Amino acid sequence: VITQHDEELDHALKEVDAAARATARTPEQVAAVLRYVITA
């Protein structure tokens, strides 16, 4: 699970983020995580 949300939602989504393997702020960060997972 990769979560993506704005910083202002950090507290509200802290339980979801704790279960996630990665958190991101932008679609570009999500893409970078996926690239890393696929190629590493």
Distance of alpha carbon 35 from its chain centroid, rounded?
Answer: 13
pLDDT tens per residue, range 1-40? 999 999 999 999 999 999 999 999 999 999 999 999 999 8
What is d(CA 3, CA 16) in angstroms, rounded to the nearest whole number? 8
Distance of alpha carbon 40 from its chain centroid, rounded?
Answer: 18
Domain map of the chain by residue range?
Answer: 2-39
**The pLDDT of residue 9:** 95
**The pLDDT of residue 31:** 98
**The pLDDT of residue 19:** 96
**The pLDDT of residue 10:** 95
What is d(CA 8, CA 40) in angstroms, rounded to the nearest whole number? 31
Yes or no: say if 2 and 24 are a contact pair by the CB < 8 Å rule: yes
What is d(CA 19, CA 40) in angstroms, rounded to the nearest whole number? 22
**What is the model's pTM?**
0.81
